[in-house]
């Protein structure tokens, strides 16, 4: 189960390992037949999935239209750059604020609902945003989307870094990802995180003990939308464009599959595993067949049916069985093997 209760390490081993692996990708990714942009894309989707899991995995709120806020962040970044001020920090912060504010407005209308009604409302609002992006040609470019979005330099005043190359953008996004990762880790292990977990376990009981459930559900949705907006803005930088399909129900389904197949319902690290697995499966299976999503879908169905806790759940189950082994089991086995070997040697001598 989630480790939302108790005292958590500031920098746990999985966090350090995740950042170390991402940081080292320029050294080995080409040697295994992949490319640097793939690591960049995986990292952006990890961020999106971690923010989404704040809702689904930790608060138990099924949002099936969350791709809308990812797309809002992408469009807001592009529009601010092309029509207001082409400054990286202004555009990034503006994109996050726009996604957060719109997420907060949607949360006002849906936070009093639960279960299937909550899920259907998230789909409805998501489709509204997708329709606007698709049809408001004068602002969003319609089906053609926003083109010519630039990778603006990161200007710190005393020094400026170009983000034009995939490697430079990767390191910039890695810094943003690290901040989000640490912030979300601390959040879910804070008193706020424990309240969210209580709402997931039993919303009625959480209300009875005095928590304002509506407010906490509103806050979880708002924060999740803000993280999605940041991921979307970085995605727009990476793609140098923004298209309506990033806001589609189809795209919203991808992040749900990432969280579930990775094991986000039982582990904070499930979305990290799921995003990596999904993007790699897309690229590796896509080499052999155009119907890669069919095979991924079949794998997803099998995992949900037989191992609903996902990849992280499989790992946790294996580790739990290992820890339950009797303390002397390993030494007993070793002694038995040694005795058998001695007997065999004696028989040969005779």
Task: From residue 162, give the alpha-carbon distance in Å to each of 169, 211, 323.
Answer: 8, 47, 49
Residues in Cβ contact with 93 at an 8 Å cutoff, skipping those fewer than 6 apart: none
Distance CA 256, CA 196 (A): 19
- List the alpha helices (DSSP H) in the chain: 13-28, 36-56, 67-83, 88-110, 115-135, 137-140, 166-188, 191-201, 203-208, 213-239, 249-262, 270-288, 292-306, 310-323, 329-349
* Cβ 25 vs Cβ 39: under 8 Å: yes
Tell me: the pLDDT tens digits for 168-198? Answer: 999 999 999 999 999 999 999 999 999 999 9
What does the pLDDT look like over 106-152, one tens digit per residue? 999 999 999 999 999 999 999 999 999 999 999 999 999 999 999 99
Residue 343 confidence (pLDDT) above 70: no
> What is the C-alpha separation between 125 and 105, in angstroms, rounded?
10
pLDDT in tens, 256-277: 999 999 999 999 999 999 999 9
Q: Quote the tokens at residue 334.
A: 């070793």
pLDDT band at 325 (very low <50, low <70, confident <90, very high): low
Q: What is the mean pLDDT of the chain?
A: 90
Q: pLDDT value at position 292?
A: 84
**Residue 324 binned pLDDT confidence (cut-offs 50, 70, 90):** confident
Q: Is the pLDDT of residue 346 over 80?
A: no
Question: The pTM is what?
Answer: 0.90
Q: Of 123, 147, 142, 138, nearest to 68 (Cα)?
A: 123
């Amino acid at each position: 189960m989630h480790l939302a209760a108790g005292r958590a390490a500031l920098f746990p081993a999985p966090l350090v390992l995740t950042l170390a692996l991402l940081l080292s990708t320029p050294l080995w990714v080409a040697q295994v037949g992949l490319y640097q942009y793939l690591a960049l894309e995986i990292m952006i989707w990890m961020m999106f999935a971690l923010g989404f899991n704040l809702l689904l995995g930790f608060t138990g709120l099924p949002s099936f239209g969350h791709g809308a806020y990812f797309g809002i962040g992408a469009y807001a970044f592009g529009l601010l750059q092309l029509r207001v001020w082409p400054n990286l920090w202004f555009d990034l912060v503006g994109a996050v604020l726009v996604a957060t504010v719109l997420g907060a407005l949607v949360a006002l209308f849906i936070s009093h609902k639960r279960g299937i009604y909550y899920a259907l409302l998230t789909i409805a609002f998501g489709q509204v945003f997708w329709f606007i992006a698709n049809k408001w040609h004068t602002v969003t470019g319609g089906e053609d989307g926003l083109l010519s979005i630039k990778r603006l330099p990161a200007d710190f005043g005393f020094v400026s870094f170009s983000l034009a190359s995939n490697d430079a953008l990767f390191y910039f996004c890695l810094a943003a990802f690290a901040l989000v990762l640490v912030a979300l880790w601390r959040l879910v292990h804070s008193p706020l995180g424990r309240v969210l977990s209580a709402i997931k376990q039993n919303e009625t009981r959480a209300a009875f003990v005095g928590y304002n459930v509506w407010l906490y559900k509103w806050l979880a949705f708002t924060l999740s939308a803000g993280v999605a907006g940041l991921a979307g803005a970085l995605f727009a930088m990476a793609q140098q464009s923004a298209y309506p399909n990033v806001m589609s129900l189809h795209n919203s389904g991808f992040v749900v599959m990432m969280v579930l197949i990775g094991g986000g319902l039982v582990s904070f690290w499930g979305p990290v595993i799921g995003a990596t697995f999904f993007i790699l499966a897309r690229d590796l299976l896509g080499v052999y067949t155009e119907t890669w999503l069919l095979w991924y879908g079949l794998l997803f169905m099998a995992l949900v049916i037989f191992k609903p806790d996902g990849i992280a759940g499989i790992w946790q189950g294996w580790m739990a069985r290992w820890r339950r082994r009797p303390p002397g089991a390993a030494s007993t086995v070793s002694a038995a093997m040694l005795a058998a070997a001695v007997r065999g040697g004696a028989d040969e001598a005779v």
